[in-house]
Chain A
Amino acid sequence: MSHPAVTIRGLHKSFGAVEVLRGIDLDIPRAQVTCLIGPSGSGKSTLLRCMAFLEETSSGSILIDDAPLGFRTHADGSRTRLPAADIRTARRKIGMVFQQFNLWPHMTALGNVSEALKTVQKLGRREAEDRAMVQLKKVGLAERADHFPSQLSGGQQQRVAIARALALEPEIMLFDEPTSSLDPELTGEVLNVMRALADDGMTMVVVSHEIGFSASVGQKIAFLDQGQLLLTGTPTEVFGKPRHPRLDQFLETYLDRGAAMLL
């Protein structure tokens, strides 16, 4: 098997005196869907945000394709923060989808998706918009290209956000509860787009309370509890019986999210 897309070793993260992640070792396999599950406050978002360097780790290392993210570790174990430009270069391989979509309200769907192509990649307007349209088509929103975020439903906004990330051709897509702020009837359209992306062979890390999605689409499940990885493995290994009591407890609170099929 090829080496992992992301390699996390000995990761600790504290906010002030509170240690939120307490020694995480995790490999994100290439071309697979890894699902991070766990109770609220267990550190799922923080871990995902560390992988995008939106949070700085307190110690430990994250390698994206063997390249260190954010910090260079020296022989003596000390580390230096890389310059902002290096961090941006490392991030090029990573796309991120947020719970709150975070579309830029002053730009249309097309504007959101083509922005970085124009501003960062310096493509001409025409080419940038052509490429953006390809992505909007992929998420089924070509005919909404000239709508502003305020004119789109939550599900549509999240699909635009996915298109925006895909336009930059990332190798790894991170999703932080992409459907949690959607009405239940809108989660399906977003999950379908994610399923299609998974079928395309995208490397994905998904934080989700949609246990049903995790169990059916996820190829690797990581169960986080109080800042530590309690379990990792295939869905069968993790969800199969006999089950870890903490996981059992957790699943019971998510019966309505598709966990019922596992019990």
Chain B
Amino acid sequence: MNSWKLWMLLLQGAGLTVAVSLLSIAIGLAIGAVISAGMLSSKQVFAVPSRLFVSFFRGVPLLVQLLLIYNLLPAIGINVSSVGAAITGLSLCTAAYQAENLRGGLMSVPKGLIEAAEMAGLNATQQFRRIRLPIAFRLTLPAIINEAIMILKASSLVSVVGVVELTRMTQDLSASTYRPLELFAMAGVIYFIINWGLSFIGSYTENAIRWGRP
């Protein structure tokens, strides 16, 4: 196999890595936002399950979570592809971390801003969606981007449920071509570039939401 062919196959794996990671990051952020609201709720019916969710997904190794989900879903009658299981696992795991990030941000939203929303007649849901969450998101953006990069790197673990993403593709190719050094170097470069792109999106977002600050 020539190098060009190898690059093409690696990029194919990289495509899957990016697709699975980005979807998981987006879904995880949305779930994380809901969970963070639950964690701070004064109602125990919301607070307790939210805290349990975070404890579980932060406390159990991602590898175990992935295998659990991959085997659990069919057992309860949900047919899921490898990619589906991978996205489910990554999303839930990253949701727990993002929830924890956002919870910190939500707690540092000045009380006066919430009182102003209260006086303007916004109900609890509207206050969360319109005031507290956007401000908390901005406050915690660096941590959120950081978690996104972590999840992109952790996505190499989804090969255990049969997704041939970048790392798995590299392993397979080095087994068949006996050129591991070259291949893992190439994979390293690709991961680096993807994460560089992610950081770029992060700083772009941070810049785009400066709210008038210099």
Interface residues of chain A, those whose CB is within 8 Å of chain B, are 52, 54, 84-85, 88, 91-92, 94-96, 98, 100, 102-106, 115-116, 119-120, 147-151, 161, 164-165, 168
Contacts and interface: CB of A to CB of B under 8 A. Distances in A.
A246 to B, nearest CB: 31
Contact of A98 (B112, B124, B131): B112
A143 B211 CA distance: 18
A84 B122 CA distance: 11
30 contacts: A54-B118, A54-B119, A88-B121, A92-B121, A95-B119, A96-B115, A98-B115, A100-B110, A102-B115, A102-B116, A104-B116, A104-B117, A104-B135, A105-B211, A106-B211, A115-B120, A115-B122, A115-B130, A116-B120, A116-B121, A120-B120, A120-B122, A147-B212, A148-B212, A149-B211, A150-B211, A151-B212, A161-B116, A164-B116, A168-B120
B121 A165 contact: no
Given A148-B211, A148-B212, A150-B212, A104 B131 contact: yes
Contacts of A92: 121
Nearest to A89: B121
A115 B129 CA distance: 12
Nearest to A107: B211
B43 interface: no
Contacts of A168: 120-121
B134 interface: yes
B2 interface: no
Given A54-B119, A106-B134, A149-B211, 17 more contacts: A88-B121, A88-B123, A91-B119, A96-B119, A98-B112, A98-B116, A103-B116, A104-B131, A104-B135, A106-B209, A115-B120, A116-B120, A119-B130, A120-B120, A120-B126, A147-B212, A150-B211
B58 interface: no
A104 B117 CA distance: 9
Nearest to B114: A102
B135 A105 contact: yes
A98 B134 CA distance: 22
Contacts of A147: 212
Contacts of B118: 54, 91
Nearest to B134: A106
B138 interface: yes
Contacts of A165: 119
Given A100-B112, A147-B212, A84 B126 contact: no
A120 B211 CA distance: 23
